[in-house]
Amino acid sequence: MLRIAVNTPINRPAQEVWDFFIDLANSSHWTRSGSELRQISAGPLGVGARISSVRPMFGREIKSQTIVVTQYEPGQLLAYTADVPLLGHTTGGFTFESIGGSTRLSRWGELELGRAEGLFGPTLTRVLRGGWGTEMSNLKRLIEARS
């Protein structure tokens, strides 16, 4: 099983970071692929909510994955499962830790590749860690630039 974790400090209070992150309309600005996250289930965002990742490609919208929220603690934690094409079933999440007036935003994920892990695991770990690092940097930049 691949386990990946990245974190970044953001010079804003945890509630402000949470509020920006949880507003799914902001997702296309920080995701590396430009994907927009859309809640596709009824009701408020919380445990059991379903979110679709959609991105424009060649004038059409392409759905890349469906995310199901498995843990939801406002201002602190959002955990999920997702079935990602070509990669399989993943679990992961984000935590928001208040450190003085700043926030440590952490992202983690686990991915089961089975027998392919030995062959693709090291490369996939580097690619995902790099991509997630880019997304965390994007979040940091966008949130810290807000007045």
CATH number of the domain encompassing residue 110 = 3.30.530.20
β-pairing, 77-84 vs 60-73, is: antiparallel
pLDDT score, position 65: 82
Across the range 111-129, mean pLDDT stands at: 76
Across the range 59-65, mean pLDDT stands at: 72
Q: What is the pTM of this model?
A: 0.88
Across the range 50-65, mean pLDDT stands at: 77
Q: Which residue has the tokens 């979110």?
A: 51
When mean pLDDT is compared across 68-77, 95-104, 127-136, the lowest value belongs to 127-136
- Structural domain range at position 34: 2-145
pLDDT score, position 118: 64
Mean pLDDT over each residue of the chain, to the nearest integer: 89
**Number of independent structural domains in the chain:** 1
